[in-house]
């Protein structure tokens, strides 16, 4: 692993930015003329450097003081050896048509076809499936982190096309915050996980204790859904200077980059036991009368019912620190002290999302809010809780800016809505369940729905053969549909498991537009085409526009605009809004042909924004969107659902797997799979940047020295991780940055089966999701539980198989 300290990284990146503002330096050090080709993607905004028609790198945007080092791999990504060069079709599918032996998916060679043939094949198949089985047999959930850009939005374009075609089944929610975004509206009346947080300057001036509860802003704020603005880095640098006054505790099974940089106090619970740990703290507060009863009375409902559970009156088990210690592995004295500290200081609980990406994950976020409510500091400057400080710099400053619209999935001329008999959209992580169980009922947030019978899957801009849990179950599920179409720039594991593969161009090969900062919205940036599309790739917009033409509704799909026409249109809409807000924005041509950037002003009051400040000032006038208008510690709505796996107040429920359980005798290590430091999920794994972290070309797995020693494993060994769901190789990184009994392997390494297409095959490369569980958080949210998994690990003794994850599949001649 490349070990650069975060501090060095911050210094280095700050220096890079300083030079970039003199318009001189690319991240790789080459001196280049500043190009005027501005662009942006999830990693941030930048200028694209091109020489002789070839992209050679990017230079961070002048106002990005903390660009991510991942930018260095952008050019390599464009020219990756595994770009999909032409439309390709699985050999027997081309020969035998839809339904051709689906067990050969992922195993067979592909045959090159012309675009014309590919378009005909896709259009004909969409028509056939619609006619024979109806629109609800087409799945277009297409979840994923396709690149930024308001126009070339693959799932939106796919759904726009299919709406005009008659309908489809979609996906709802996401893999990030599935549990949080469903439980929070019941508790605080908003999604909460994607809201602007109390601004960092308020934290820096007022907070005395920051608790990072499974949150790693330095790692995760590198990227954003809208291009990242990287504001958090400056704030955290400032926080480090104020460490004398502001205490930082990190509750996490590993020492995160943020914890290390801030020299935070490390509390390492067993994974998946956070709700119990929070209950222990709550019990200590309650029994020592350190909770804020006046706050609870005025701003919340249901505390009394919850208190009966907390004290054990309702179930006979008081949730004492000792009880919590037994479950979480954190000593009771530590729990008690933490409770006292939290109550004595201005405390901000910064919760991450891994704690809810777990079995019964709803409870963790609900309990975090309940704990904050007991502390009584919600709505005070620097106090309370925040669920987005680690994401796209939540807590950055909101600009006075119009919202930049994007192309919509509903065309102006209408078309069918998301459509199915019962379920027009399944919770995204229930995809394998859906494919395996057509016609079966499932519960979701108070509704009972039925899985549709899917015959055709179309995926554009996501990588389910990396992101979805329990790879071997997904392989089985994936054999159900008659046709699978995948559209991506690269031969991802998902593309290899398709029947028809369409080559999309990358953002660098087409025009688009984006707004930087999901929360701050500080600037609108032109995304200018820098190089011609590689090989025969086409932009998503062009692909769907042409397919729509063949399906007979081309003009309705495009509304008469080409890509640049759409860019111009959405810019114009933003400009109209800006005019109402009295914000100057140049006309489109000036913008596009000039700097390609519009900066928006940050009003002074942004610096003092306090989340829930208004609610605290006047809870009647500024009532929350919950049934009671208050924070619901007990939810009558959820009570009405009568779910055994989601009771009406925060509750500790045994997860399917955890340390300390019976199952841990067989599989004694908890597998944690956080987000990767030098990738965006699977993206960039196919660039040279993987050499920064790989061990013998495998994904690294962190293992504590004691656990390594017990297995005769040394730093740098190749190991095999396994459980009853699957097996994968990985490279051991022996480090005391991880708690005993826990191994950490980031999500996103490309699946690379030793026997392609075969259920149970050994992954040669380190796809963590061959080991995870495919099950819903609960009937309420049905989110994924990626972080709930036990494994065993051993030294790998066999001959080391060659990694083929980044090789294109074998190609065949037309048979």
Ligand X SMILES: Nc1nc2c(c(=O)[nH]1)N[C@H]1C(S)=C(S)[C@@H](COP(=O)(O)OP(=O)(O)OC[C@H]3O[C@@H](n4cnc5c(=O)[nH]c(N)nc54)[C@H](O)[C@@H]3O)O[C@H]1N2
Q: Compute the distance between CA of residue 143 and CA of residue 14 in angstroms, rounded to an integer.
A: 34
Closest approach, Cβ 642 to ligand X, in A, equals 28
Q: Compute the distance between CA of residue 718 and CA of residue 702 in angstroms, rounded to an integer.
A: 12
Nearer to ligand X, 154 or 382 (CB): 154
| Token pair of 774 as six digits | 């495919």
Closest CA to 525 of 38, 17, 145: 38
- The per-type count for the chain, helices as H runs and strands as E runs, is 27, 30
225 is annotated as an active-site residue: no
Asked whether position 388 contacts Mo ion by CB under 5 A, the answer is no
Hey, which residues does 524 pair with through a beta bridge?
515, 598
Q: Is 440 strand, coil or helix? A: coil
Nearer to ligand X, 598 or 730 (CB): 730
Nearer to ligand X, 632 or 767 (CB): 767
589 is in an annotated binding site: no
The one among 150, 198, 256, 300 contacting ligand X by CB under 6 A: 256
Q: Compute the distance between CA of residue 359 and CA of residue 242 in angstroms, rounded to an integer.
A: 37
Nearer to ligand X, 409 or 463 (CB): 463
Query: Phi and psi (nearest 5°) for 351?
Result: -90, 135
With beta carbons less than 8 A apart as the criterion, state whether 13 and 21 touch: no
Asked whether position 676 contacts ligand X by CB under 6 A, the answer is yes
Q: Compute the distance between CA of residue 172 and CA of residue 155 in angstroms, rounded to an integer.
A: 12
The one among 363, 520, 683, 727 contacting ligand X by CB under 6 A: 683
With beta carbons less than 8 A apart as the criterion, state whether 773 and 272 touch: no
Closest approach, Cβ 175 to Mo ion, in A, equals 5
The one among 176, 196, 494, 784 contacting Mo ion by CB under 5 A: 176
Residue 510 interacting partner from Mo ion, ligand X, none (CB closer than 5 to 8 Å by kind): none
Q: Compute the distance between CA of residue 712 and CA of residue 442 in angstroms, rounded to an integer.
A: 45
Burial class (CB in 10 A: 0-12, 13-18, 19+), 225: middle
Closest approach, Cβ 54 to ligand X, in A, equals 19
The one among 108, 362, 433, 488 contacting ligand X by CB under 6 A: 488
365 is in an annotated binding site: no
The one among 59, 370, 651, 673 contacting ligand X by CB under 6 A: 673
With beta carbons less than 8 A apart as the criterion, state whether 696 and 800 touch: yes
Closest approach, Cβ 316 to ligand X, in A, equals 26
Residues in the interface with Mo ion (CB under 5 A) total: 1
* Terminal Cα-to-Cα distance of the chain (whole angstroms): 45
Closest approach, Cβ 798 to Mo ion, in A, equals 35
Nearer to ligand X, 199 or 786 (CB): 786
Contact window for Mo ion (CB under 5 A) among 172-180, 383-391, 411-419, 693-701: 172-180
Burial class (CB in 10 A: 0-12, 13-18, 19+), 84: buried
Q: Look at the chain and count its residues.
A: 815
With beta carbons less than 8 A apart as the criterion, state whether 774 and 432 touch: yes
42 is in an annotated binding site: no
Asked whether position 251 contacts ligand X by CB under 6 A, the answer is yes
Interior angle at CA 617, CA 616 and CA 621, nearest 5: 95
Residue 681 interacting partner from ligand X, Mo ion, none (CB closer than 5 to 8 Å by kind): ligand X
Contact window for ligand X (CB under 6 A) among 197-205, 299-307, 500-508, 549-557: 500-508
With beta carbons less than 8 A apart as the criterion, state whether 713 and 682 touch: no
| Catalytic entry in 47, 61, 93, 145 | 145
DSSP assignment of 66-115: S--GGGGGHHHHHT-TTB--S-EEEHHHHHH-TTS-GGGTTTS-EEE--H
| Catalytic entry in 43, 61, 66, 143 | 143
Residue 352 interacting partner from ligand X, Mo ion, none (CB closer than 5 to 8 Å by kind): ligand X
Nearer to ligand X, 471 or 630 (CB): 471
The one among 46, 490, 491, 591 contacting ligand X by CB under 6 A: 490
| Token pair of 322 as six digits | 């000792």
Q: Dihedral sign, CA of 707, 711, 712, 718?
A: negative
Asked whether position 346 contacts ligand X by CB under 6 A, the answer is no
540 is in an annotated binding site: yes
The one among 108, 192, 747, 752 contacting ligand X by CB under 6 A: 747
Asked whether position 673 contacts Mo ion by CB under 5 A, the answer is no
Contact window for ligand X (CB under 6 A) among 84-92, 156-164, 266-274, 807-815: 266-274
Site string (211-240) toward ligand X, x via CB under 6 A:
--xxxx--xx-xx-----------------
Site string (297-336) toward ligand X, x via CB under 6 A:
----------------------------------------
Site string (117-156) toward ligand X, x via CB under 6 A:
---------------------------xxxx----x-x--
**Contacts of residue 737, Cβ cutoff 8 Å, sequence gap at least 6:** 254, 255, 260, 702
Hey, which residues does 450 pair with through a beta bridge?
441
Site string (129-168) toward Mo ion, x via CB under 5 A:
----------------------------------------
Query: Segment 162-221, which members bind ligand X (CB under 6 A)?
Result: 175-176, 213-216, 219-220
Contact window for ligand X (CB under 6 A) among 20-28, 456-464, 607-615, 637-645: 456-464
DSSP assignment of 226-288: S----HHHHHHHHHHHTTTTSEEEEESSB--HHHHHHTPEEE-PPTT-HHHHHHHHHHHHHHT
Residue 213 interacting partner from Mo ion, ligand X, none (CB closer than 5 to 8 Å by kind): ligand X
DSSP state of 797: -
Query: Segment 609-638, which members bind Mo ion (CB under 5 A)?
Result: none
Hey, which residues does 457 pair with through a beta bridge?
139, 484
The one among 327, 378, 504, 631 contacting ligand X by CB under 6 A: 504
145 is in an annotated binding site: yes
Closest approach, Cβ 328 to ligand X, in A, equals 9
Contact window for ligand X (CB under 6 A) among 89-97, 265-273, 335-343, 688-696: 265-273
688 is annotated as an active-site residue: no
769 is in an annotated binding site: yes
Closest approach, Cβ 366 to ligand X, in A, equals 15
DSSP assignment of 279-310: HHHHHHHHHTT-S-HHHHHHHEE-HHHHHHHH
Neighbour count for residue 54 (Cβ, 10 Å)? 12
Q: Compute the distance between CA of residue 458 and CA of residue 269 in angstroms, rounded to an integer.
A: 41
Contact window for ligand X (CB under 6 A) among 112-120, 251-259, 691-699, 701-709: 251-259
Neighbour count for residue 564 (Cβ, 10 Å)? 16
Q: Compute the distance between CA of residue 456 and CA of residue 471 in angstroms, rounded to an integer.
A: 20
Nearer to ligand X, 460 or 805 (CB): 460
Closest CA to 611 of 377, 293, 339: 377
Q: Compute the distance between CA of residue 47 and CA of residue 20 in angstroms, rounded to an integer.
A: 10
Query: Segment 755-814, which members bind ligand X (CB under 6 A)?
Result: 768-769, 772, 786-787
Active-site residue set: 143, 145
* Binding residues vs ligand X (CB under 6 A): 144-147, 152, 154, 175-176, 213-216, 219-220, 222-223, 251-254, 256, 269, 271-272, 274, 352-355, 357, 390-391, 460-463, 466-467, 487-490, 492, 504, 506-507, 540, 672-677, 679-683, 747, 768-769, 772, 786-787
Point out the annotated binding site. Answer: 145, 357, 463, 467, 510, 540, 769
Contacts with Mo ion by CB under 5 A lie at 176
């Amino acid at each position: 692993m490349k070990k650069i300290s975060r501090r060095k990284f911050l210094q280095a990146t700050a220096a890079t930015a300083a030079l970039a503002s003199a318009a001189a330096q690319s991240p790789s050090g080459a001196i280049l003329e500043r190009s005027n080709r501005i662009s942006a993607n999830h990693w941030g905004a930048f200028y694209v450097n091109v020489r002789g028609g070839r992209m050679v790198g990017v230079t961070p945007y002048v106002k990005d003081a903390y660009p991510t080092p991942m930018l260095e791999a952008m050019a390599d990504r464009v020219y990756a050896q595994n770009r999909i060069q032409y439309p390709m079709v699985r050999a027997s599918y081309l020969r035998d048509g839809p339904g051709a032996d689906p067990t050969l998916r992922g195993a067979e060679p592909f045959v090159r076809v012309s675009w014309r043939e590919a378009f005909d094949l896709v259009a004909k198949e969409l028509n056939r499936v619609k006619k024979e089985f109806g629109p609800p047999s087409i799945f277009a959930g297409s979840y994923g982190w396709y690149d930024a850009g308001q126009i070339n939005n693959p799932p939106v374009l796919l759904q726009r096309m299919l709406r005009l075609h008659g309908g489809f089944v979609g996906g709802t929610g996401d893999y990030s915050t599935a549990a949080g975004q469903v439980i929070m509206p019941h508790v605080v009346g908003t999604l909460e996980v994607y809201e602007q947080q109390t601004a960092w300057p308020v934290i820096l001036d007022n907070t005395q204790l920051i608790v990072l509860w499974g949150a790693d802003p330095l790692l995760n704020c590198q990227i954003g859904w809208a291009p990242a603005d990287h504001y958090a880095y400056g704030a955290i640098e400032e926080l480090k200077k104020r460490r004398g006054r502001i205490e930082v505790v990190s509750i996490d099974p590993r020492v995160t980059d943020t914890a290390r940089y801030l020299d935070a106090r490390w509390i390492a619970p067993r994974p998946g036991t956070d709700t119990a740990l929070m209950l222990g703290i709550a019990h200590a507060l309650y029994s020592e009368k350190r909770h804020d009863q006046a706050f609870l009375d005025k701003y919340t409902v249901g505390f009394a019912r919850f208190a009966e559970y907390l004290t054990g009156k309702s179930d006979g088990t008081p949730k004492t620190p000792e009880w919590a210690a037994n479950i979480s592995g954190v000593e009771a004295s530590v729990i008690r002290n933490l409770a006292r500290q939290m109550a004595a200081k201005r405390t901000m609980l910064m919760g991450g999302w891994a704690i809810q990406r777990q079995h019964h994950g709803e409870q963790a976020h609900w309990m975090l809010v309940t704990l904050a409510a007991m502390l009584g500091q919600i709505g005070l400057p620097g106090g309370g809780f925040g669920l987005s400080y680690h994401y796209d710099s939540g807590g950055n400053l909101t600009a006075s800016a119009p919202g930049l619209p994007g192309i919509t999935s509903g065309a102006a001329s209408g078309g069918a809505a998301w459509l199915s008999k019962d379920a027009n959209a399944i919770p995204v992580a229930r995809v394998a369940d859906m494919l395996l169980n057509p016609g079966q009922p499932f519960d979701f947030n108070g509704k009972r729905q039925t899985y549709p019978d899917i015959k055709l899957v179309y995926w554009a801009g996501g990588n389910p053969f990396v992101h979805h849990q329990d790879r071997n179950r997904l392989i089985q599920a994936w054999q159900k549909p008659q046709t699978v179409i995948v559209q991506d720039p690269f031969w991802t594991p998902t593309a290899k498991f398709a029947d028809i593969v369409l080559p999309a161009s990358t953002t660098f090969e087409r025009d688009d537009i984006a707004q930087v900062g999901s929360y701050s919205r500080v600037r609108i940036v032109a995304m200018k085409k820098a190089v011609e599309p590689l090989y025969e790739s086409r932009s998503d917009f062009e692909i769907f526009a042409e397919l729509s033409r063949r399906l007979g509704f081309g003009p309705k799909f495009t509304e008469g605009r080409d890509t640049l026409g759409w860019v111009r249109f959405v810019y114009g809409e933003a400009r109209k809004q800006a005019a109402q807000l009295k914000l100057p924005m140049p006309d489109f041509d000036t913008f596009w042909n000039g700097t390609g950037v519009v900066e928006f002003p940050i009003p002074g009051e942004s610096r003092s924004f306090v989340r829930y400040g208004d609610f605290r000032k006047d809870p009647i006038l500024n009532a929350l969107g919950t049934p009671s208008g208050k924070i619901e510690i007990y939810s009558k709505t959820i009570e009405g659902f009568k779910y055994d796996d989601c009771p009406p107040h925060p509750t500790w429920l045994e997860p399917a797997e955890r340390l300390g359980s019976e199952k841990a005798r067989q599989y004694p290590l908890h597998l944690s799979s956080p987000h990767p430091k030098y990738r965006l999920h699977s993206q960039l794994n196919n660039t040279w940047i993987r050499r920064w972290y790989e061990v013998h070309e495998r994904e690294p797995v962190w293992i504590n020295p004691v656990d390594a020693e017990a297995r005769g494993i040394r730093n740098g060994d190749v190991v095999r991780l396994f459980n009853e769901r699957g097996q994968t190789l990985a490279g051991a990184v022996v480090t005391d940055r991880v708690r005993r009994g826990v191994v950490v392997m980031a999500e996103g390494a490309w699946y690379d089966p030793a026997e392609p297409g075969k259920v149970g095959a050994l992954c040669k490369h380190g796809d963590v999701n061959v080991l995870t569980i495919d099950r819903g958080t609960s009937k309420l949210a049905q989110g994924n539980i990626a972080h709930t998994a036990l494994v065993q690990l051993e030294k790998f003794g066999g001959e080391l198989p060659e990694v083929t994850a980044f090789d294109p599949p074998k190609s065949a001649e037309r048979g």
